[in-house]
Structure formats: C-alpha cells, structure tokens
Amino acid sequence: MKHNTAWNKKDNSNEWLKAALRKKYLPTRPVVLDLFCGHGRMYELAYKEKAAGYHGVDNKKIHDPAICTLTNNVVFIAHNDITKYNVFDLDDYGTPWKQLYMICGKHPGPGEITLFVTDGLVMHQKSNQKVTKFVSATEQIPQQMKINGINRFYVDIFATMLLDIERRYGWKTTKARYSHNSRRSVYYWVLKLKKYMKTTER
C-alpha cells in the first residue's frame, strides 16, 4: 500500500484508550496472537498480566525474542497454527483487513474469537477519495470511482465487511464496539466472532 505522509505514524497514538478496550473485552482465558506487536506497549499495558498465552509478531521490531517472531504477519498467519489463539490483535497503521480475512478463513472454529482492530480506512479513503480493493469487493463499487463523502458511511462499510466474513467463513459477529481518535480518522474496534460448527481448515 502506498504511504501517505499525512498518516500519523506514531506507534501508539491513543495507547491508553486502546489498552482500556483490550482489558475490558478480553475473554476469560485469553491466548493472544499480537500480529503488530511493535515495542510491546499493548503487551505491557493489557496482556502481560492477564494473558494465559501470548505471541507477538512484527516485521520491524519485537519486544522480546522469547515470545515474539520477527516476520511479516501475513507469512506468519499462512505458515503457523493459529487455532490455539482466541485473541487476535491487529494494531496496524493502515487497514488490516487482509489479516482479518486470513484469520477468519484459516481458523476452523468452533468457538469464539476476539479481535482488536486498529483501522485507518477513513484516513486512507480521505487521502485519495477512492475505495480500497477490499471495499470495492464488499460494496461492489468500482475501484477507480471517486465518491465524495464516502467516509460518512465508514461504520456501515465495516459492517458490510463483517457480513461478508460471516457469509464466506461462518464467523458470526456477536459483538462489535468501536471508538476513534479525535479526528475520527482511525477507529479502534473490538470484535467478538462466533462459529458454531467446525469448518475445514483452508
């Protein structure tokens, strides 16, 4: 994805808000796959004391080699067993929809998973007024079409994506809560997804 210099690349803008969301919505026995772990602020603030298991992944920096892997998270998801985790942390600078789809496509269920997603889709769409490849597919909008004011429908666009995940993989959203930064350009989601029947692992 092309970088826009306007993006706020500070690792943990709103870190207390993000940590509070995580602490509030962790399941009873959290086993966490922290796919954008960075220097481990969320690990320190939310997971270190509460998680029954933890693994961090980052392609640039990790906070503890004993519990983290330095690699691209897309590669990690593709090549590792993710069924032992029930919490997935997607604290991206961008829009981690690819990782979200990969997790839901690969995890056969059954059971409940919790996902913490930092989504900068609004910021991305503001910068070029075009929809992403994913939104183009879920909303059936041509990718080159510029749509003024599309970000007013951001929450609906996100909801359509969750329905698409349910239709494709059987993961039903049972809880979706969000908060955002002061400019409403980055959203912090908590998602609880349930699958009642195991499907074949992809």
Ligand X SMILES: C[S@@+](CC[C@H](N)C(=O)[O-])C[C@H]1O[C@@H](n2cnc3c(N)ncnc32)[C@H](O)[C@@H]1O
Q: Is there binding between residue 58 and ligand X (CB under 6 A)?
A: yes
Stretch that binds ligand X, among 35-43, 102-110, 139-147, 180-188 (CB under 6 A): 35-43
Total chain residues near ligand X (CB under 6 A): 20
Q: CA-CA distance, 100 to 90, in Å (whole number)?
A: 8
Smallest gap from residue 188 Cβ to ligand X (A): 11
Q: Is there binding between residue 93 and ligand X (CB under 6 A)?
A: yes
Q: Which residue is nearest to ligand X (CB)?
A: 38
Q: Is there binding between residue 73 and ligand X (CB under 6 A)?
A: yes
CA angle 100, 34, 7 (to 5 degrees): 70
Stretch that binds ligand X, among 36-44, 108-116, 132-140, 177-185 (CB under 6 A): 36-44
Q: Is there binding between residue 181 and ligand X (CB under 6 A)?
A: no
CB proximity list for 12: less than 8 A, separation 6 or greater: 18, 38, 41, 42
Q: Is there binding between residue 68 and ligand X (CB under 6 A)?
A: no
For residue 89, give both structure tokens.
């942390």
Stretch that binds ligand X, among 22-30, 90-98, 154-162, 182-190 (CB under 6 A): 90-98
Is 72 or 80 the residue whose CB approaches ligand X more closely? Answer: 72
Written in H, E and C, the secondary structure of the chain is: CCCCCCCCCCCCCCHHHHHHHHHHHCCCCCEEEECCCCCCHHHHHHHCCCCCEEEEEECCCCCCCCCEEECCHHHHHHHCCCCCCCEEEEECCCCCHHHHHHHHHHCCCCEEEEEEEEECHHHHHHHHCECCHHHHHHHCCCCCCECCCHHHHHHHHHHHHHHHHHHHHCCEEEEEEEEECCCCCCEEEEEEEEECCCCCCC
Q: Could you say which of 30, 40, 109, 120 contacts ligand X (CB under 6 A)?
A: 40
Q: Is there binding between residue 109 and ligand X (CB under 6 A)?
A: no
Stretch that binds ligand X, among 59-67, 80-88, 124-132, 168-176 (CB under 6 A): 59-67
Is 124 or 195 the residue whose CB approaches ligand X more closely? Answer: 124
Q: Is there binding between residue 138 and ligand X (CB under 6 A)?
A: no
Positions in the binding site for ligand X (CB under 6 A): 11-12, 36-42, 57-61, 72-74, 91-93
